[in-house]
Amino acid sequence: MTTNKTVLTWVDEAVALCKPDHVLWIDGSDKQADTLRQEAFGTGELIPLNQDKLPGCVLHRSDVNDVARVEDRTFICCRRKEDAGPTNNWFDPKEAYPTLRKLYDGCMKGRTMYVIPFVMGPLGSPSAKIGVEVTDSIYVTLSMLIMTRAGQCALDELGQSNDWVRCLHSKAELDPAKRYICHFPEDNAIWSINSGYGGNALMGKKCFALRIASYQAKTEGWMAEHMMILGIQDPQGNTRYVAAAFPSACGKTNLAMLIPPEIYQEKGYKAWCVGDDIAWMRIGEDGRLYAINAEKGFFGVAPGTNAKSNPNALATTTRNTIFTNVALNLDDNTVWWEGLDKNPPKNALDWKGNPWNPDMEVKAAHPNSRFTAPAENCPVISDQFNDPQGVPIDAIIFGGRRAKTAPLVYQARDWEHGVFVGSIMASETTAATTGKVGVVRRDPMAMLPFCGYNMGDYWQHWLEMGKKLGDKAPKIFNVNWFRLDDEGHFIWPGFGDNMRVIMWILGRADGTANAVETAIGYEPTPDDINLDGLDFSKEQLAEILEVDPALWREDMESVEQFYARFGDKLPKELKAQLEALKKRLG
């Protein structure tokens, strides 16, 4: 498949280390993928579903101790600890490589090693990057075929270049005590062992697309961000794009695939999805910021996805999709999860494979159960999805779950203030990662678990990108769809109605929308958000636009403590922004 000596040598080294019985190169063909599926059906690694109702769809169950990203077992392995920074786990490569080699030694005996060349980004894009993953998991192999442009096309793109990321993965024994997800940014390498879960095992996901890519981006002068990309088309056919960062399971996919409210649909507005999770952004020839989606598929959270919350995501999963850790409806051999509908199956197997019925107290699907679906299935996938140049970004949006502090939306004063706004992002934790749920933690730019180097340097890189962009920099905003009333209910309706806020954001980006200045930035008045056709009063809107100085002063104390962790790596501009906000808050 290739004559690239760097690839062939590395694969030979991986074979010598892992000692598989067989080696299979993945060519990207449907015929080969079908053969792998049939093999996985025979071993039970995958379960075929009802092909009439869900053509091409399969079910996968991960090990019960292997159901989410494991941040405590995820490491940045760079030569100097300070380059990993205070928010990453550091593992000295001098110790990491020997430790890992002992675990990989012979780990694939009796198994097949699958060699997966893959491209991150559209083929032919100046922003695209190449990787090669070796794995002993058919689930990982088939998932990578959905999530990336994999096979011979990647080797053709690579040619004889040595600019590619080495991705070594093995399920090994699935021993959580020996689980390591290690990133070597200075070596263009990722080594993951003893996990088969998507975020730990699909190397093209967070491992490459964010941790390694963010380091590459800093070095090469671009941006690798945990952002969805949404296009809003006006009645005249003009489409403008926003990129938005939210922590996992905080609504990125819902926003990426939103359906405009009727009042906008009737006028001819449309919404297009370019990506739901990853944005790689470069400055184009015209000086503007352009974004590509580095992935080719969606790795979405299943629970809560339904015909109301995200009909486009649900439609995307109806063919050629891998469902992971959801329930199996034995009556018709389809899948189910909490929040899908109000008709749970009466005869089912839960995500562990145990008999389940609605009277049981246990969940049918794991809270972090997933669907891995081709982006081309999405009814609103953008016609720019495969554009090598990407799409121009008019606005960047940050957001998270805050019950009281953050208002529905506000705009940063300028790029530098916007970097500050992104750097102080906080959100309540979700089931997408192991640990307690509902704890408020700082998650700058939604990159806390994904930045492949010192986050102080990452913020500095953002500031430098702003200087390069100058007056062509996208405007920066913060949103919070999750304000709660005193009874703990969400106040804002969310979902498709979030477009009403996006329209104000785009209006601010082109200078046509009104705003009032507050201590934290520019906010709309209740008259500036279109509420037509919505059972929601201006009084309610005023409530969730309110900025409580006392809550913000308390929040700034937390920010100060967080910033202190970075020492002299904290950019002076952000320290000045913090002091200025404290002064404005009194």
Confidence category of residue 351, pLDDT binned at 50, 70, 90: very high
Confidence category of residue 488, pLDDT binned at 50, 70, 90: confident
State whether 214 and 241 are in the same domain. Answer: no
Residue type, 127: S
Evaluate if residue 428 carries a pLDDT over 80: no
Which pLDDT belongs to residue 251? 81
User: Comparing C-alpha atoms, which of 293, 236, 245, 232 is closest to residue 507?
Assistant: 232
SS3 content of the chain, % helix, strand, coil (to 5): 35, 25, 45
In this structure, what are the phi and psi dihedrals at residue 354, rounded to the nearest 5 degrees?
-95, 150
Q: Is 471 annotated as a binding residue?
A: no
Average pLDDT value for residue range 345-360: 98
Which pLDDT belongs to residue 320? 98
Q: Is 423 annotated as a binding residue?
A: no
Q: Is 69 annotated as a binding residue?
A: yes
Which pLDDT belongs to residue 440? 72
- pLDDT tens readout for residues 25-75: 999 999 999 999 999 999 999 999 999 999 999 999 999 999 999 999 999
User: Comparing C-alpha atoms, which of 493, 496, 503 is closest to residue 529?
Assistant: 503
Q: Is 483 annotated as a binding residue?
A: no
Average pLDDT value for residue range 427-438: 59
Domain boundary among 345, 377, 409: 377
Q: Is 109 annotated as a binding residue?
A: no
Evaluate if residue 250 carries a pLDDT over 90: no
State whether 237 and 193 are in the same domain. Answer: no
- pLDDT tens readout for residues 282-314: 999 999 999 999 999 999 999 999 999 899 999
State whether 115 and 233 are in the same domain. Answer: no
Q: Which residues are catalytic?
A: 250
Q: 305 in helix, strand or coil? A: coil
Domain boundary among 170, 193, 221: 221
Evaluate if residue 554 carries a pLDDT over 60: yes
Evaluate if residue 133 carries a pLDDT over 60: yes
> Does the residue 302 lie in any domain?
yes
State whether 18 and 114 are in the same domain. Answer: yes
Q: Is 251 annotated as a binding residue?
A: yes
pTM (global) more than 0.95? yes
Average pLDDT value for residue range 111-128: 98
User: Comparing C-alpha atoms, which of 229, 244, 240 is closest to residue 481?
Assistant: 244
User: Comparing C-alpha atoms, which of 430, 413, 423 is closest to residue 445?
Assistant: 423
> Does the residue 123 lie in any domain?
yes
State whether 312 and 275 are in the same domain. Answer: no
Measure the CA angle with vertex 261, ends 311 and 474; round to 5°.
Answer: 95
Evaluate if residue 462 carries a pLDDT over 70: yes
> Does the residue 61 lie in any domain?
no
Q: Is 370 annotated as a binding residue?
A: yes
- pLDDT tens readout for residues 435-461: 565 567 899 999 999 999 999 999 999
Instruction: Output the domain CATH number for residue 557.
Output: 3.90.228.20
- pLDDT tens readout for residues 390-403: 999 999 999 999 98
- CB-based contact 90:452 (threshold 8 Å): no
Instruction: Output the domain CATH number for residue 138.
Output: 3.40.449.10
Q: How far apart are CA 244 and CA 139, in angstroms?
A: 30
Q: How far apart are CA 274 and CA 229, in angstroms?
A: 5
Average pLDDT value for residue range 148-159: 98
State whether 36 and 135 are in the same domain. Answer: yes
> Does the residue 59 lie in any domain?
no
Q: Is 494 annotated as a binding residue?
A: no
Which pLDDT belongs to residue 439? 67
> Does the residue 55 lie in any domain?
no
Evaluate if residue 556 carries a pLDDT over 80: yes
Q: Where are the beta strands (DSSP E) in 214-269?
A: 223-225, 227-233, 239-245
Q: Is 60 annotated as a binding residue?
A: no
> Does the residue 37 lie in any domain?
yes
Q: Is 368 annotated as a binding residue?
A: yes
Q: Is 401 annotated as a binding residue?
A: yes
Evaluate if residue 190 carries a pLDDT over 70: yes
- Of the chain, the percentage scoring pLDDT greater than 70 comes to 98
Domain boundary among 170, 186, 221: 221
Helix or strand (DSSP H, E) at 555: helix 549-564
Number of domains in the chain: 3
Which pLDDT belongs to residue 427? 84
Instruction: Output the domain CATH number for residue 370.
Output: 2.170.8.10
Which residues span the domain enclosing 302? 298-377
Q: Is 249 annotated as a binding residue?
A: yes
- CB-based contact 484:490 (threshold 8 Å): yes
By mean pLDDT, which of 160-164, 233-237, 294-298, 427-431 is the weakest? 427-431
Which pLDDT belongs to residue 420? 98
173: which residues sit within 8 A by CB, 6+ positions away?
107, 194
Q: Is 219 annotated as a binding residue?
A: no
Average pLDDT value for residue range 132-145: 98
Count CB atoms within 10 A of the CB of residue 448: 18
Evaluate if residue 429 carries a pLDDT over 90: no
State whether 207 and 313 are in the same domain. Answer: no
Count CB atoms within 10 A of the CB of residue 95: 10
Which pLDDT belongs to residue 148? 98
State whether 173 and 292 are in the same domain. Answer: no
* Mean pLDDT of all residues belonging to the chain: 96
In this structure, what are the phi and psi dihedrals at residue 468, rounded to the nearest 5 degrees?
-70, -35
Evaluate if residue 166 carries a pLDDT over 70: yes
Evaluate if residue 431 carries a pLDDT over 80: no
State whether 302 and 289 are in the same domain. Answer: no
Q: Is 254 annotated as a binding residue?
A: yes
Evaluate if residue 430 carries a pLDDT over 80: no
State whether 309 and 283 are in the same domain. Answer: no
Pairing of strands 370-374, 279-283: unpaired
> Does the residue 474 lie in any domain?
yes
Q: Please give the distance of CA 32 from its chain centroid, rounded to a whole number.
A: 28
Evaluate if residue 276 carries a pLDDT over 90: yes
Q: Is 496 annotated as a binding residue?
A: yes
Structure tokens at 569: 């790596």
State whether 516 and 470 are in the same domain. Answer: yes
Confidence category of residue 434, pLDDT binned at 50, 70, 90: low
State whether 311 and 425 are in the same domain. Answer: no
> Does the residue 50 lie in any domain?
no
Q: Is 497 annotated as a binding residue?
A: yes
- Residues making up the chain, counted from first to last: 586
